[in-house]
């Protein structure tokens, strides 16, 4: 095989990807322009609200297609985004001087939140909550309610439809590369062994309240399938992290 043919074969997948990307961009641009004209004419000329709504919906679809990345975000970028998301929570915890360990709770809207006791720790919430703000009350207990950094990851199909250990492996090993491998054992408590953890949190209060990044992700995934979870302990030893969790 000639060098010229080898180069052509090597470039062929790249050219196909570029062509697909160009076609998608052209389609998305055309859809957005058409939808904009449809919405304007429907509203200004025809005074037709359903057609105007259709036009706006198509505009959103076109823009979404334009913004959709062709290549997946690399794991180190996902890690950086998750670590960055801890900073706002850290600032809030510092401002309110809250240091109680939080409870990871799956609320009535299907999203996982962290309920952090304010003042005395009266235990986990005992009712299904509809979260409406930063503060929630259950009996005599009050909680600060925050969204954990990994909340949106729980909606990914590979996590949503998987068993706990499979979902944990996908997120920590494949998606974020926060660990080399994960082992789970279930008894009175759930114990997760993470081999070669790679998370780097500078947010010390976040770690004390919500756990390390690996522990927070673990608790979020477990709460998504079991309801209420709390991180009991974390031990770093010999290139491994041992996370112990309570399930209520």
pLDDT score, position 101: 95
Instruction: Tell me the angle at which helices 3-44 and 49-67 cross, rounded to the nearest 10 degrees.
Output: 160
Higher-pLDDT residue of 80 and 3 is: 80
pLDDT by residue (tens digit) across 15-73?
Answer: 344 454 456 677 777 778 887 887 777 777 777 777 777 777 787 777 766 666 555 66
- Angstrom distance (rounded) from CA 245 to CA 75: 26
pLDDT by residue (tens digit) across 93-132?
Answer: 988 899 999 999 998 888 899 999 998 888 888 876 677 7
CB atoms within 10 A of CB 209: 23
- Angstrom distance (rounded) from CA 212 to CA 201: 7
Residue 3 has pLDDT above 90, yes or no: no
Do 124 and 230 contact (CB within 8 A), yes or no?
yes
Q: What are phi and psi of 80, to 5 degrees?
A: -60, -40
pLDDT by residue (tens digit) across 201-227?
Answer: 777 899 999 999 999 999 999 999 888
Q: Which residue in this structure is represented by tokens 């959103």?
A: 60
pLDDT by residue (tens digit) across 143-202?
Answer: 999 989 888 888 888 888 889 999 999 999 988 889 999 999 998 999 999 999 988 877
Domain ranges of the chain: 3-67, 75-247
Q: Which residue in this structure is represented by tokens 């991180």?
A: 231
Q: What letter would DSSP give residue 175?
A: I
């Amino acid at each position: 095989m000639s060098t010229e043919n080898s180069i052509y074969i090597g470039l062929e997948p790249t050219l196909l990807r570029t062509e697909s990307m160009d076609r998608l961009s052209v389609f998305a641009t055309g859809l957005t322009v058409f939808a904009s004209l449809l919405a304007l004419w429907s509203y200004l000329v025809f005074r037709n609200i359903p057609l105007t709504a259709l036009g706006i919906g198509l505009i959103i679809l076109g823009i979404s297609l334009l913004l959709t990345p062709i290549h997946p975000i690399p794991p180190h970028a996902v890690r950086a985004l998750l670590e960055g998301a801890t900073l706002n929570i850290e600032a809030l915890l510092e401002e309110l001087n809250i240091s109680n360990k939080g409870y990871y709770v799956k609320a009535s809207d299907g999203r996982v939140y962290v309920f952090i006791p304010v003042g005395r720790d009266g235990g986990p919430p005992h009712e299904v909550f509809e979260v409406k703000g930063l503060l929630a009350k259950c009996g005599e207990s009050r909680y600060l309610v925050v969204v954990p950094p990994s909340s949106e990851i729980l909606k990914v199909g590979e996590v949503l439809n998987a068993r706990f250990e499979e979902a944990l492996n996908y997120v920590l090993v494949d998606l974020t590369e926060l660990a080399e491998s994960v082992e789970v054992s279930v008894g009175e408590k759930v114990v997760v062994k993470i081999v070669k953890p790679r998370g780097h949190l500078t947010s010390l209060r976040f770690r004390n309240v919500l756990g390390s990044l690996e522990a927070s992700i673990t608790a979020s995934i477990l709460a998504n399938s079991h309801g209420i979870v709390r991180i009991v302990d974390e031990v770093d030893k010999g290139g491994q992290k041992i996370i112990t969790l309570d399930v209520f």
